């Protein structure tokens, strides 16, 4: 039979609430020690002003309070998120009459739970239109300044700078950030916003880090980073992880690069190829100008020859017509008509001469214009600006340091003369 109040006697000890609370605490701590609990995070609203984290872990049948002290919270790879299923390791304790888990370590309960959270967030941000193609901006063809947001140490920044230097050296501004850990997301978002706030903004941004696990790359899945990328007025390339890695910033960026090195290749063209294209255009322009000049010269010569032959023939025809008329007319009438005809002939000759002179003048102006155009594409003009034309001993133009290093003799052509070097 269960005991009732009347069965108790006055000799039983009386405990205070604090004594019972301390006793329960000792029993919990002594009996259980370190435990691992699997449950879903509930009631997470971010860290307290003290820096500590307070929330609950729940499953289908029960809820237990949890606390994560500031020092531990800052070291967690995966920060608490509402609805995230985790495995928490810690000590059971009691506080204020309630028992709770003091967390020492916490991890996601398998990749499935983390990927489910990631997919949920992706759908929410996509529904807002942050990933719409119409929001994406075209990348500049030849940026003058590129802003790079990444860790200041490691291979990523070296790879980007090396590839940019190889392809088309430009001015690079590096905004150093943590790419993993508690403050990584805030630093990355602040860097994107900071670049956009500069008075002289970069023409292009690259956000990059090397490969890693889903947890390592999680900062680039944070909402604050995704929103900063989507709202950037500067075109942005995301280059996070390896080719098979995908983070939410990839959906919000204007273009995704499979690797940081590939981001540098996307950002700038190859300078040597552009220079070769310019040389080919210059050669084509020179050839076209020469052909036009030769054609116009030949046409003017033809017109001059035809004109010199046409004028005497016309005069001869007029003279013959006058002779025919003279045979049929009286001397007075004949002289009158001859004088009239001679006057018309003189006027025609005058108009023809004026027309010919105008035509010749127009052709002369056109030839002067063509000559000026030809002079503007003269490579000597480029030499006058400080450039040097490099040839080998056979007269072949050299366009790269690699080719020049193979030669035993180099001929340098300056604006005011030539110089022969024997490396």
Q: What is the mean pLDDT of the chain?
A: 84
- For the entire predicted model, the pTM comes to 0.54
Segment 309-328, tens digit of pLDDT? 777 778 878 888 877 766 66
At residue 13 the predicted structure's pLDDT band, cuts being 50, 70 and 90, is confident
Query: Count H helices, E strands: the chain?
Result: 12, 13
Q: What is the pLDDT of residues 25-51, one digit of tens each?
A: 777 767 777 888 888 889 888 788 888
Tell me what pLDDT residue 357 has.
83
Taking the C-alpha atoms of residue 150 and residue 172, their distance in angstroms, rounded to an integer, is 12
pLDDT tens for residues 206-225?
A: 999 998 888 889 899 999 99
State both tokens at 222: 């944070």
Tokens for 26, please give them. Answer: 């000792």
11: DSSP letter: T
What average pLDDT does range 126-138 have in this prediction?
A: 93
Place of tokens 């075109």: 235
At 272, list the tokens. 């040597």
Structure tokens at 102: 């003091």
């Amino acid at each position: 039979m269960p005991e009732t109040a009347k069965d108790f006697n006055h000799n039983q000890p009386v405990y205070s609430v604090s004594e019972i609370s301390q006793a329960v605490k000792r029993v919990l701590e002594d009996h259980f020690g370190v435990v691992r609990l699997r449950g879903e995070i509930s009631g997470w609203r971010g860290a307290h002003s003290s820096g500590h984290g307070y929330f609950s872990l729940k499953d289908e049948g029960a809820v237990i309070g949890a606390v994560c002290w500031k020092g531990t919270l800052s070291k967690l790879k995966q920060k608490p998120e509402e609805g995230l299923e985790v495995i928490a390791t810690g000590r059971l304790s009691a506080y204020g009459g309630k028992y709770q888990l003091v967390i020492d370590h916490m991890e996601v309960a398998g990749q499935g739970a983390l990927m489910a959270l990631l997919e949920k967030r992706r759908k929410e941000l996509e529904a807002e239109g942050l990933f719409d193609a119409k929001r994406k901006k075209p990348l500049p063809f030849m940026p003058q300044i590129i802003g790079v947001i990444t860790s200041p140490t490691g291979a990523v920044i070296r790879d980007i700078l090396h590839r940019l230097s190889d392809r088309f050296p430009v001015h690079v501004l590096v905004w150093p950030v943590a790419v993993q850990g508690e403050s990584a997301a805030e630093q990355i978002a602040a860097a994107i916003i900071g670049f956009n706030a500069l008075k002289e903004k970069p023409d292009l941004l690259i956000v990059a880090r090397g490969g890693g696990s889903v947890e390592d790359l999680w900062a680039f899945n944070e909402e604050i980073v995704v929103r900063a990328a989507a709202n950037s007025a500067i075109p942005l390339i995301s280059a996070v992880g390896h080719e098979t890695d995908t983070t939410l910033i990839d959906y919000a960026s204007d273009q995704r690069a499979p690797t940081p090195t590939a981001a540098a290749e996307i950002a700038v063209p190859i300078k040597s190829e552009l220079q070769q294209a310019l040389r080919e255009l210059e050669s084509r322009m020179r050839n076209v100008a020469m052909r036009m000049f030769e054609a116009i010269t030949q046409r003017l010569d033809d017109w001059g020859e035809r004109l010199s032959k046409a004028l005497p023939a016309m005069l001869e025809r007029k003279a013959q017509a006058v002779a025919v008329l003279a045979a049929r007319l009286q001397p007075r009438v004949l002289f009158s008509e001859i004088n009239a005809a001679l006057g018309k002939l003189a006027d025609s000759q005058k108009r023809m001469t004026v027309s010919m002179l105008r035509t010749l003048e127009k052709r002369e102006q056109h030839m002067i214009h063509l000559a000026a155009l030809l002079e503007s594409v003269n490579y000597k003009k480029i030499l006058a600006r400080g450039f040097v034309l490099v040839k080998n001993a056979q007269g072949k133009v050299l366009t790269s340091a690699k080719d020049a290093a193979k030669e035993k003799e180099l001929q340098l052509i300056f604006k005011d003369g030539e110089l022969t070097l024997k490396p």
